[in-house]
Structure 1
Amino acid sequence: MDPHSWSLHWDVLLAIGILAAGYFSSQRRWPADARRRAAFDLAVILLLAVYVTPLHTIALHYLLSVHLLQNVVTAEWAPALVVVALAPSLARELERSTAVRVATHPLVALPLWLGTYFVWHVPPIYDAALEQSGWLLHLEHLTYFFAGVLLWWPVVHGRYSDGVKALYLFGAFVLAAPLGLLLALLPRPVYDFYKDAPQLWGLSDIVDQQIAGVTMAVEQAIVFFAVFAYFFMRFLRTEHIAGVFSESSR
C-alpha cells in the first residue's frame, strides 16, 4: 500500500462523527466556554490526523513508531482534551451515576488504563490486532480512548486536593514508563508484524522499535510530569499559605 494514501474509512469517520455530535448536542443544555470548546476541536483534529491522513496508513502497514504515536493520541492526548472540554455542570450530571463515580475513582481509573495499555501491547495480541485490521483493532482503539477518559477524569473533574492529583499523576507516569523504556532497550524486535513489514525511510525494524520506545517514554515524561508539576506547585503554594495563616494566628 502506498504510504502516502489517505484513509477514509466509514467506521472511523462514523465514530469521530458520533463523538462530535454527542458533544455539540450537549452544548444546548450544558454549555462550555470557548476554551473548552477549543479543547474539543483540537481533540477531533488530532484524531483525524492519526486516523485519516497517511499517518494511519504508515501506522498499520509500515512503522511501529507511527502506530505508537497513534496510540498515544488515542489513549492520552485526545481523551484528556475531551475531558477538559466537558462543562463542569455536565461532569456533575454524569457523576450522578454510580457507575461513572466508581469508574472514575482514581483507584479504579488508573489500573484500568494501565491494564488496557499493557494488555494490548502484549506481542501476540498486538500482532493479532494489526493482522486483522478489523474489529479487534477497532476494539483496541476504542478501549484506549475510553480508558484514557477514565484516566484524566479525576484530574480534571475529580473533587480531590491538588496533592492527591499530583500523587495520582506521578503514579501514572512511574507505572506507565517501563513499557516505552522496554521497547527502547530490547535488543531485538518484539512484534512480528513490524518485523515483516516493508521498510520506510530507511528505518530498520529495531531502529523503528527504539524510536517508538523513546518517543513513548519522552512523551509520557513531558505530559505527565508537566501536569504533575502544575498540581504539585499548587499544593505547595496552598500549604505555604496555610502555614502563613497558621503562624499569624498564634
Structure 2
Amino acid sequence: MPLRLAALGPRQFALAWVGGLAFAALLTWWLRAGNSASVAFVFVCSVDNVPPPEFPDVFFTVALEPLPVYLLLSAAAAYLLLWLRVRHAGRGRLFPAWRLASFMSGIALVILTVFGPLAAYDRVFLFVHMIQHFILITIAPPLILLGGPMTLLLVAAGPQRRERWIYPITHARWFELFTNPIVGLFLFAAVPILWYITPLFESSFTNDWLHFGGYAVFLFAGIHYWWPVVGGNPTHWNLPHPVRLFYLFALVPIHAFLGSLFYEPSRVLYQQLAAQPRLWGPRPLLDQQIGGAIMFLAGEALGLIATIAAAAAWARADEREAKRHDARLARERARATGG
C-alpha cells in the first residue's frame, strides 16, 4: 500500500483532490441548511447551529466546517505522499518517521483546536478563544516545522523542478526580506494585538470568513515566527545563539501584555460575548479573566522553557566547538612533534 501511494501521479492526486473537494462542499451545504448529525455520542453541526452551552454537552459538540478541514487534511495527505516518495527513492535517512509523526501531530492539533470539542463555543467563551490562539501561534507551528515540509518539498521536487519553480521564489530578494526574523517577531506580536484591540475580533462573531481567516493568520504568524529557530527547513537567516536567546525571550513580554489586557479590566470588553446565552460555564467577566490568566501563565511558561532550551543548545554548541578546537591543537602538536 505505501508503494502504491508513493507511485500516485499528479493527475491521479488532482482528480482525487477535486472529488474530495466536491464532497466537502456538499457536506458544507448540508450542514449550513440547518441539518445536524449525531455520531456515537458526538453532536455534529455547523457554527451557525451550535446549541447553548450545557454540561457535559459542550465537550461532545463539534461545529464542523468541512472545507477548511478538508484543506488541512489535503496538506497532511500531500506531505504523506511526498514522504513516501522520498523514502521509496532511498532518501529516508533525511526524513525519519518522527518527522512524519511531528507534522501529522501539528495538523491534527490545528483541526482539534479549531473544530474539536469545546471549540464550537469559541464565540461564547473568551477563554476558549484564548486557548485556540495560544495553540495556533505557539504550539502547532513548531510541530509542523519539525516535519521539515519545505525541505521535503525540495528533495521530492528533484533538481529540474527546484531550479525552475522553487529557487526563483526562495532566492528572490523580496522573499529573503519577508522571511527576516524581525518580520516574524513583528507578526507574532502585532497579529494578536491588532486582532483584539480593533473591531476585527467582534466582527468575526458574525462573519465566518473573518472568523476562520483569523485562525489562518494566527497559524501563519506562528509558523513565520518559529521558522528561524526550528531546524529542518532551509532559511536565509541563521540566528547566532545570543540573538536566538533574545528572540525566544520575546515570548514572555508579548504574552504578559496580552494577558494583562484581559485580566486587569474590571468590565467586560466584548459586549457580544456577554450577550450570548450561557447555561453553563463562567460569567462573562470571570471568563475574560480566565482567558487573560491562561495567556499570561501559559505564555510565560512557554517563553521560559524556550529560552532555557535555547541556552542549553548554546552551551552544547560551545562544548562542541571547544572539543573541535582541542582536537585541532592536538593534531597541530602531533605534526610539530613528528617534524
* TM-score when normalising by structure 2: 0.65
* Corresponding position of 2:113: 50
Q: What does residue range 197-212 of structure 1 map to in structure 2 within 5 Å?
A: 197-212=276-291
Partner of 1:151: 225
Distance in structure 2 (CA, Å) of the matches to 1:196 and 1:218: 28
Q: Contact conserved, 1:180 with 1:216, CA < 8 A, in 2?
A: yes
CA offsets 1:142-189 (integer angstroms, 9 cap, x no match): 111111110100111452222221110112332342011221111111
Q: Which aligned pairs between 1:82-93 and structure 2 lie closer than 5 A?
A: 82-86=144-148, 89-90=151-152
Q: Say whether the 8 Å CA contact 2:102–2:147 is kept in structure 1.
A: yes
Does the 8 Å contact 1:116/1:143 carry over to 2?
A: yes
Matched residue SS, 2:229: helix
Structure 1 distance, partners of 2:118, 2:291, is 14
2:304 counterpart of 1:225 = yes
Q: Deviations over 1:204-238 (max 9, x none)?
A: 11100111011011111122221111111332454
Secondary structure at the aligned position of 1:130 is classed as: coil
Deviates more, 1:196-205 or 1:110-119: 196-205
- Decide whether the 8 Å contact of 2:258 with 2:292 is kept in 1: yes
Answering whether residue 182 of structure 2 is matched by residue 124 of structure 1, we say no
1:240/1:51 CA distance change after superposition, 3 Å? closer
Greater relative contact order structure (CA < 8 Å, 6+ sep): 1
Provide the rounded CA distance (Å) in 2 between the counterparts of 1:6 and 1:20.
21
Other-structure match for 1:37 = 100
Q: 2:242 aligns with which of 138, 145, 163?
A: 163
Q: Which piece of structure 1 moves more, 29-38 or 165-174?
A: 29-38
CA contact (8 A) 1:183 1:212 kept: yes
Q: Does 2:74 correspond to 1:18?
A: yes
Q: What CA distance in whole angstroms lies between the structure 2 residues aligned with 1:199 and 1:127?
A: 18
Distance 1:22 1:173 in 2: 35
SS at match of 1:199: coil
Judging changes above 3 Å, is the alpha-carbon distance between structure 1 residues 24 and 58 closer, same or farther for their aligned structure 2 residues? same
5+ residue gaps, structure 2: 1-49, 155-161, 232-236, 330-339
User: What is the aligned length?
Assistant: 246
Code of the residue aligned with 2:248 in structure 1: it is: L
1:105-131 alpha-carbon deviations (Å, 9 max, x no partner): 211111022111211112521100122
Match of 1:7 in 2: 63
The whole-number CA distance in structure 2 between the counterparts of 1:115 and 1:91 is: 30
Partners of 1:91 and 1:191 in 2: CA distance: 43
- Could you state the TM-score of these two structures normalised by the residue count of structure 1? 0.86
AA aligned opposite 2:96: D
Is residue 2:143 matched to residue 1:81?
yes
Aligned partner letter, 2:294: T
**In structure 2, C-alpha distance between the alignment counterparts of 1:145 and 1:100, rounded to whole Å:** 19
- Quote the Cα distance in structure 2 between the aligned partners of 1:200 and 1:143: 32
Given the superposition, is the C-alpha separation of residues 44 and 240 from structure 1 closer, same or farther in structure 2, using an over 3 Å criterion?
closer
Percent of aligned positions with the same letter in both sequences? Answer: 24
Task: Name 2:130's counterpart in structure 1.
Answer: 68
RMSD of aligned alpha carbons: 2.7
Equivalents in 1 of 2:151, 2:72: separation in Å?
Answer: 23
Which residue pairs with 2:32 in the alignment? none
Q: Which runs of 5+ in 1 are unaligned?
A: none
The SS at the match of 1:108 is helix
- In 1, are the aligned partners of 2:251 and 2:303 still within 8 Å (CA)? yes
